[in-house]
Amino acid sequence: MGKKIGILGSGAWGISLAILLEKLNHKIYLWEPLKENYEILIKKRENVDYFKGVKIPYSVEISNSIKEVVSEVEVLIVVVRSAFFRKTIKLLKNLYKNQPVIIGTKGLEYKTDKRMSEIYEEFLNGDNLAVLSGPTIAKEIAEGYPTAAVIASKNEEIGRFFQKLISCEKFRIYTSKDIIGVEIGGAFKNVIAIGAGIIDGLSLGINTKASYLTRGLNEMIKIGVFLGGEEKTFRGLSGLGDLITTSFSKYSRNRSFGEGIVKIGMEEYLKKTKMVIEGIPTTKAFYTLSKKYGIELPITNSIYRILYKRGNPEKEIKRLMLRELKKE
């Protein structure tokens, strides 16, 4: 017998998880907070702005009431975008019934530089909490392509619970206790993916991209370990795995944005897209953290200058290549 699972957030990630879990015979309740979006979802059974062409099964209950969803379910999955995460947890606070909760939202909060689990624990006890991350491009999950991901929790029992709940022939789950590392990897890879897209836009080749991603991983490890993550986590699914996916996939919003910076310009690209580019505020967050703690992150600095100081991508590449020579 499957579980009743509430998914908070009906973007691409939320819908792909709904499709995956519905096939595992769980009863899925999908929450969309905006009335107009909810009405479109009910009418068309798809998110026409953010996940066009992917149909939501009719067995999935779509709701505009978070109270209704939380009251019905045994398990909660939070996948709203990072900018709305705090507001969502505030809403959840007075409705929560001590269900196991998994956070699938990636990123850092723009104003506080906090991870999603840190925000969650401002309002609710984290004993039943886990986080999910890894190479999980939503379109491929929805289409049933096999992948693997990692679930991290301080509570090993909760980690194993979610591992058994979600794992299947299409989605293999590993467990970890390193919540910090899993969350930092899932956020930082978006910064590096923007640069990967810039490299694609400039047609600089695989040597350039391989060198760039290797040094980008080095920056992820440097800031991640400083913030309390374990180095092995960043070399795993939620670090290197997610970094590779996000830096190569044609469905990657952050990589596509980087390519768009070169081909049509940042402002023009942002006017045309309805997608959320998490890497933009995340770049600023990690740049701020690096300056606050005196951590050298040259690639992050270059991406920051391109995004916030209108830096020229080719000049930034030259700056990176000609900076002081060092040991690996």
Q: pLDDT per residue over 244-292, tens digit each? A: 999 999 999 999 999 999 999 999 999 998 788 999 999 999 999 999 9
pLDDT score of 113: 92
* CA gap 55, 269 in Å, rounded: 27
- The rounded percent of the chain whose pLDDT value lies above 90 is 93
Which residue is listed with tokens 């624990």?
Answer: 121
Residues 290-308: what's their mean pLDDT? Answer: 97
* CA gap 175, 131 in Å, rounded: 10
Cα–Cα distances (Å) from 302 to 50, 129, 197, 244, 306, in that order, read 29, 35, 14, 20, 6
Residues 162-176: what's their mean pLDDT? Answer: 97
Q: State in Å, rounded, how far the first CA of the chain is from the last one.
A: 53
Strand order through the sheet with 129-133: 61-63, 27-31, 4-8, 75-78, 101-103, 129-133, 147-152, 171-176
pLDDT score of 221: 98
Among 27, 106, 114, 189, which one carries the catalytic annotation?
A: 189
Q: Is 189 a catalytic residue?
A: yes
Res. 298 pLDDT band, cuts 50 70 90: very high
Is the pLDDT score of 1 beyond 70? no
Residues 161-180: what's their mean pLDDT? Answer: 98
Residues 88-95: what's their mean pLDDT? Answer: 96
The dihedral formed by the CA atoms of 110, 36, 94 and 182, expressed in degrees to the nearest 10: -40
Q: Between vectors from CA 238 to CA 113 and to CA 11, what angle results, nearest 5°?
A: 70
CB of 124 closer than 8 Å to CB of 100: no
CB of 150 closer than 8 Å to CB of 236: yes
pLDDT score of 177: 98
- Residue that wins the pLDDT comparison between 275 and 240: 240
pLDDT score of 151: 98
User: Can you list the alpha helix ranges (DSSP code H) found in 11-125?
Assistant: 12-23, 35-44, 66-72, 85-93, 116-123
Residues 93-108: what's their mean pLDDT? Answer: 96
- Residue that wins the pLDDT comparison between 50 and 64: 64
pLDDT score of 53: 87
Cβ count near 299 (within 10 Å): 19
- Residues with Cβ < 8 Å from 155, sequence gap 6 or more? 127, 128, 129, 130
* CA gap 93, 298 in Å, rounded: 40
- pTM (2 decimals)? 0.95
Note the pLDDT tens digit of each residue in 18-51: 999 999 999 999 999 999 999 999 999 998 877 8
Residue 163's closest CA among 102, 244, 118, 207?
102
* CA gap 222, 231 in Å, rounded: 9
pLDDT score of 275: 81
Alpha-carbon 213 to chain mean position: 18
pLDDT averaged over every residue in the chain: 96
Query: What tokens were used for 10?
Result: 């009906």
Which residue is listed with tokens 């795993």?
Answer: 236
